[in-house]
Structures are given as C-alpha cells and as structure tokens.
Structure 1
Amino acid sequence: MEKRISTQKITPNLWFALNAEEAIKFYLTIFKNSKTGRSTYYGEEGFEIHKIPAGTLMTQEFYLEGQEFLALNGGPYFTFNEAISFVINCDTQEEVDYYWEKLTEGGPAESQMCGWLKDKFGVSWQVVPTELTEMMLDKDKDRVARVNKEVLSSKKLDLNRIRAAYNGK
C-alpha cells in the first residue's frame, strides 16, 4: 500500500460528472507546485447503481500548491455552485492576472465578480491580492468603505485601483 503523502486532516472532495481527469490536467497546468497522487477505478460491482463502466477512474488525489484535493468521477448527479470556492492569495497584480486568465479560459463569464470566477468545470475560485485583507482590516471605516465599493464593482481585482480607493484617490 502506498504511503500517504499528506498529513492534512481534511481534504476537499470535488465531484465531477465524468471529467475529473480533464479537470486535474487543467489545474496541473495552471499551478506550478502541483502533482497527482493515488487513483482508484470502478469495478463491476455497483454498476446497477452508478452506471459507470468498470475501468473508469473513480477517484484521483491531486495537490495544488501543497493543498490536497480528491477528485471523484461520480456521474451527473451533483454540480458545483458558488457556495464553496477556493481562494488564491496573490502577492502581486501579475499573479492576479495570471490566475484570472488561466482559470477563466473557457469558463462562464457571468459568474465573475469581486475577484470571484467559475472555471470551465464549474468550480468557483477567488483570486485575491493578499494586500486586500490588510486594507479590509483597517480601523478607518471610510478607507474600508472605499475599498469595498471598488471591490464590489469589479470583476477581476485591480490592485492599483484598490490602493487608490484605499488612499482616497
């Protein structure tokens, strides 16, 4: 038995219709520090319930920036929604631009707001400059209000515009 790579206590499990392999390959091209882990496959048992042919990938572990995920090819019974998303903390505008461009490729534009996007597999992400958190924690309520107004009126977050709002410009 392969030794467990991660020491994470909780692992997000992402339910895909039957395109988990395609989604994982997509994510591995975007996140530089990424890899796959162990896989399981459907057997003959349970076919009468799930209708997924034997030999089809059932689960695949994968890691993005050290975060462990599990992908499940579970069939078309459940879909993703914005109630759960993954935050990507970015140190620079270049990083924000990179993740935004890559993750929105082929995705539904109507779900993009406040740095929040949905990728082509329906998974929601928030691409956020880390500096924004510090601004939102400022004790100056006027600064926070200006930053909020800028963020709420944005799709992709622009650090220069957020900084200008923060500084009252």
Structure 2
Amino acid sequence: MSIPKNTVCLWFDKDAEEAATFYASVFPDSRVEAINHAPDDYPFGKKGDVLTVQFTVAGIPCIGLNGGPVFTPDEAFSFQIATDDQKETDRYWDAIVGNGGRESGCGWCKDRWGLSWQITPRTLTEAMMAGGDEARRAFAAMMTMRKIDVAAIDAARRG
C-alpha cells in the first residue's frame, strides 16, 4: 500500500477502528485500508491494541489515531459532504445523527465520536456562488435550518 503525501489525522480516544468502519459503510469511495497495532505499551494503551487505522472517507485519505482522552475534536475541523438531492442529504444526516450523533445548525451535525460534518446540498453551494440576492435569500433560509431542506433552499433561490 502506498503512503499518500498528505493525510488527515483524526485523534480518537480508543474507537478509531469503529469510526473508520462506520464511515466506510456510509459514504461512497470510503474504505478501511489498514489496521496497525501498538508495538509496545503507550500512555493510553497496551501492546497489541489498535493504535492507528488507515482509511478513506469520500476519497480523502485519513488516519485514525487512538491517542487516548487527552484531545477531543471540535468544530474547527469538519468534513463537508456535497449532496445532490434531499434523499442523499437525508441518508447521510440520518446515518450520522441516528447512530449516536447530534444535530447542529445550518447543515452541521456531529457523529458519536465528536467529529463535525457539514451535509451540504449542492444547490446551497451554488446559491452562495451566485452571490447577490439569490445568495442572500438562500443564506437567510439556511440560517433557520438544522438539516438542510433542499426544496426550501430552491424556493429561496427563486425568490
């Protein structure tokens, strides 16, 4: 297996393998590639424990590090997943929130490991790129939402 030049490293307490397996089951172009065990004891684990998990999430190479409870994720880092329609938006949102995650606002949610996800329909991104009144209306509509309502964003875009 080749080692990518750039990899996103995600710190987990002890559940990197479970998280990687979950992500691989939910998102296309995702997979668990390697599970590496600790060669010796370390501050929050023992020899033979899962230390790192190499995986891909929607085409992005990642490594999950079981580093213990010292650091926890926050909203400064998130995965943004572009969706094509309400069905796809609902599928990803429901998978994350329905498996121990929680809703936030404006299309953001957190999974059960504390990682933030932006489930963003392409129509919302297109509205922001259009600028002007279309962007303003779509933005105002988005600000009232938790999970993005594609039909409401489309209606806002039209005015």
- TM-score w.r.t. the length of structure 1 is 0.87
What is the rounded CA distance, in whole Å, between the counterparts of 1:90 and 1:75 in structure 2?
33
Matched-pair contact (CA < 8 Å) for 2:21–2:31: no
The answer to whether residue 26 in structure 2 is matched with residue 30 in structure 1 is yes
How do 1:72-151 residues align onto structure 2 when only pairs under 5 Å count?
A: 72-105=65-98, 106-109=100-103, 112-139=104-131, 141-151=132-142
Q: CA RMSD for the aligned pairs?
A: 1.5
Match of 1:42 among 38, 58, 69: 38
What is the one-letter code of the residue matched to 2:114?
G
Runs of 5+ consecutive residues of structure 1 not aligned to the other structure: none
* Matching residue's letter, 1:123: L
Structure whose alpha-carbon radius of gyration is higher: 1
Return structure 1 stretches of 4+ with deviation > 3 angstroms.
Answer: none
For 2:115 and 2:11, locate their aligned partners in 1 and report how far apart those are by CA, in whole Å: 10
| Secondary structure, counterpart of 1:157 in structure 2 | coil
Q: Distance in 2 between matches of 1:146 and 1:156?
A: 17
CA spacing shift, 1:134–1:108, aligned 2, 3 Å: closer
Give, in whole Å, the separation in 2 of the partners of 1:27 and 1:136. 28
Q: Distance in 2 between matches of 1:131 and 1:157?
A: 10
Q: Distance in 1 between matches of 2:47 and 2:146?
A: 43
Counterpart Cα distance in 1 of 2:51 and 2:123: 39
**CA displacement at 1:19 relative to structure 2:** 1.0
3-state SS of paired residue (2:125): helix
Deviations 1:35-92 (A, max 9, x none): 21123211225x3xx1411100111101122221100100000000011100001111
Q: How many residues were matched structurally?
A: 158
The residue number in structure 2 matching 1:166 is 157
User: Of 129, 144, 147, which aligns to 1:153?
Assistant: 144
Partner-residue secondary structure (3-state), 1:137: helix
Q: How high is the TM-score relative to the length of structure 2?
A: 0.92
Equivalents in 2 of 1:132, 1:146: separation in Å?
10
Higher mean C-alpha displacement, 31-40 vs 87-96: 31-40
